[in-house]
Chains A and B, each alone.
Chain A
Amino acid sequence: MRTTTANKKIRSRRSLSRNDRFTLAAFIGIPTLMQIIFLWLPALITIILSFTYWNGINVSDIKWAGLANYKNIFFGTPVFYEALKNNAIWLLWFTFLATPLGILLAYQIDRKIKGHKIYETVFYIPVVLSLAIIGIIWNFMLQPGGFVQGVMGRDIGNAVSIWGNYSINTYVIMGVASWRHIGYIMLLYLAGLKSVDSSLREASAIDGATEWQTFRKIILPTMRPVNIIIVVITIIESLRAFDLVYIIYGTSTAWPLLNILVFQNFAGQGISMKGAAYAVILLVLCIGPILLYLRNVFKEDLK
């Protein structure tokens, strides 16, 4: 026993030269350290601060607040539930409309339908823009005095209410966000599709499978790694949504999202650290579904 473990040790030591070990340590150590310093430490501090009252200036002013901030959010802040609703709508919309549409587009383009190059370019262009820029563009188009209003012959006095019209603004925002998300998903899926062995498709065609059957039984399972990425991206994008809405509405919570509440309550206004509590809620929401999903995936892989 002793000798074998000793041998193993020697062997493993030998397999890595000093240089290798140094490189490995640097490559793993430095990023880990940076993650801890710039991500985990602030996250931990935020979690702690969410249980306090503090104006963010002198450390000596921090006062323990217990669950007060959370109580305030859950029982005293209706805008929190509006934000939750909006984030949920965002997630549902992306999951059931934007993402499938992106996959469909990718699939069609991959089949080299007529004019596929043009479609590809058209849907790809919004992806190179950040959501903040997209917010600026669409705000410029749709706001009173904006381009679309001008084309409709509406001046600022009788402009069609869009951002302030609560029966449509959610759909408009979803549409604008999807404008980019569809292209993004299409791009990811297209990259994945390129790596699918074409003989698989030919084989299924010879076996008389319909297009839908081929997609469901052949393409989708072979695309598993890409699918996981897409699910995770869709969830994260929906929960972290911020910039688009911030550009349109500013910090006023006219169309609240969790991230906007984090920002509004952090932006040097208060002393309650309610912003930290919002951030923690968001963190839990983000980590929860992703951990669950990844665990599921790995479980299946182990089988």
Chain B
Amino acid sequence: MSQRFRLPSGGHVDRSQRLGFSFDGRRYEGHAGDTLASALLANGVRLVGRSFKYHRPRGIFSAGIEEPNALVELRDGARREPNTRATVAELFDGLSATSQNHRGSLGFDWMAVNGLLAPFIGAGFYYKTFMWPAAFWERVYEPMIRKAAGLGRASGLPDPDHYEAAHAHCDVLVVGAGAAGLAAARAAGAAGARVILAEQDFLLGGDLLNEAEHDAWRSETIAALEAMPEVTVMPRTMVFGAYDQGVLGAIERVADHLPEPPPHTPRQRYWTIRATAVVLATGAHERLIAFPGNDRPGVMLAGAARTYARRYGVRAGETAALFATHDAAYDAAFALAEAGTRIAAIIDPRTDSAAMQRAREAGLAVRAGSVVNGTVGGKALRGVEIGTVGSASRGDAVPADLLMISGGWNPAVHLASMSGAALRWDDALLAFVPEEREESAWQRSAGACRGVHGFGAAAADGAAAGRAAAVAAGFDAADIPLPDAPSADHRPYALWEVKGGGKAFVDIQDDVTADDIRLAHREGFSHIEHAKRYTTHAMGTDQGKVGGLVGAAVLAEARGEPVASVGLPRFRPYTAPIAWGAMAGGEVGRHFQPVRRTALHGVHDELGAVWMDAGIWKRPAYYPKAGDTDGWASVKREARAVRERVGVCDVSTLGKIVVEGPDAATFLDRVYANTFSTLAVGRARYGLMLREDGIVFDDGTTTRLGPDRFFVTTTTAQAGPVMQHLEFHLASAWPDLDVSLASVTDQWAAMSIAGPKARDVVAAVVHGLDVSSEAFPFMAVADCKVAGVPARLFRISFSGELAYEIATPAGYATHVWQAVMEAGVPYGIEPYGVEALGLLRIEKGHVAGSEINGQTTALDLGLGRMLKKKGEFIGRVLAQRPGLTDQSRPHLVGLRSVDPARQIRAGSHLLVDGQDCGWISSATQSVVDPGWIGLGLLRDGEARIGSRIIAANPLMGEEVPVTVTSPHGYDAENLRVRT
């Protein structure tokens, strides 16, 4: 099929370059410089999609980012991208696109039956209809609605492309490279400022691209910008959001105009731009008029038809009508007439105007005082019905396959509004424009985005804004050559809607009609934000760029108020859709988050460890061995080795903080609920830390290394928060204390050697230290050498067995571990993982993160005796509140499944006589007395020891009888750790 709507010359397409592409499987040809939309129009393709709700046939409506209809699936396979706007998709050779949102073919869509049901599926239909029965929502209604709704299909495959995040700094950021933006960038650049000029289009010029007679100024300005070394021009870069303090976000489409990105090139780049001053020159979006049938393929914004003719050399129709409320739109009729399209009628509600007279002089048929009150046609426009202003009766029809409409221009105020500018109603333009405010002098709007239309006026406004921005960034103002050109009159007649039979859309993409807006008002959703959510008005990918204000005007009329007081919904990023991949950037797959490995990671890997995540740490869960029937067999084997012989476990992930200074002991007394100032040098003590609200925060052992020097350990999970907690209180509450803190978690590797034979193993590797119980009792700490390298030995235990912990500078970790393993061979040493560690501590009754869960007090955990009676500490005062000292609060207990074979689970509820009285916090299988055991928090827990209750898990359909026990069932006298 030839490009029969392509003009022989003119515009910014290169007719010598032929690009083949396909749409819905049919082959077409376009040129370099085309968008998919302009190439489709050149080939006479009018029907490009189906609407969201009613599945009405739709055509290309705009020529830019505001496109509501022409959304396609671009590319195939893993690169398929749904909901891509054909109006901004740059044509390349081999492009393949598919229409979306229809079952069956685009021409015959089964879902179009929704159009016949339209009287029943207005705004709020889903809310009202799918209410009952409630259980049907999840199983029946929602899947059905989800199947029917939505637009394009995601590929469902991993994205083969990669994306980059990048940062840029500049003195002046100019957003938009139309007349205003080009002038602003040049003025700021001439002043010497570092300038970034970002333009979403692949060509610079904006509306200048439609004005061949001004192309010399455009080319000369671009050349001047390229000659300035401090000016960076970024085409294909859409600024999508404005944030605080001159930070703006942008997407650079690096390779979207190519079949696929070249090697080592990202598809898109996500820019964070920090600018001292910002000029917004984002232009304006033309708005529709609501009239019956205003969505028919062939109805198009007037400015878009003009752009297709002038920039792309494409006639959007054979016979056109123009329905406009202001003079500036008439240029579309002149452009189409020049291109050879027959102008059937110009329909204008006004009585007379300069442009009307010019049109008459040019021989065009002008129907003053008229409106379009209907369209004729099915999948393509065939005619336009013309009535008179204020009359409900239908008038005559004129044949046309293109109806160009314009209800005025809405300044693109999105970024201005996001960055804090108030919006002001402009009575002449009938639109919101940004209020200029002194406190936002670093940021200003220029040109059409603040209502200054016309090439000459916009360029002058842009130059002034660029100069001011450069001055705001500390440069001296400079002048640039400016063009002289008259401005067309953009002030529209106030006509938002032509009422009549049939659907008059205010939001074409979401199928929201003027009647839907009125329905929302009648049903009480009269605030613009409520009406938006009730009707989905302006919630599509176009965010109401062409019809948002029209919907607001319909609502204003229903409320009997001016549009200005109805306003617009809040503008938020993103101004136009961006790809998820760009937001994710390089942080995908294994780069999604960092992995923390201990110094012994390679050792565990060689031992075949099964890994588990502890935050971002990788820790060995257990080490499977031949003969282990399952994971539990491995875990229990490891735990038995500790109970019966000796085991070794990597505990390097515990947080380690050195607290040093003359006031270190005083500080620790204040941050811990127990006392450390009485601790002797060379001794360790278990410490309990509370939050200010009296809830337990963390626990761990702290060692006194010297009079003014302590070594604090924290749990793995709370290492960071505890450090921050200590830093905060030193800075805010006790700046008078002379204390320094240093996190040394990564500097030290640590391993626990636990079991009845632990001393034999430790004695074999430690030099220069008597490790007998007399010389080195429970809670002793000393520096020593292990296997010839420096180390520190702690006699502390988490497992309930005789145990030592060897800490060594991380670089020696593997050497020390291997020495320990070798020394342990005669004693049957086994490495044990986090699962066995958990088993052992539950058996012993030690609390961990499942019990110190941010809800429990020291009293709840049976640790009330640790709270010092005298002296200040964080959490002391608020822990005394009645709610936290209530005797009926759930208390730590041990639990044992009555039937040793029946599993109990963490999270199960504890039922006493059918009443929910607590929960299981941790569960495991005992190796000392086989069967399922656990720890839990139970109301009146201590009083219930010995009684039988129910552990209920409704999710698993289980009710397991359990016996309440003391949590300290294993070696309650603590003899084993002290031997």
Q: Are A and B a genuine interacting pair, yes or no?
A: no
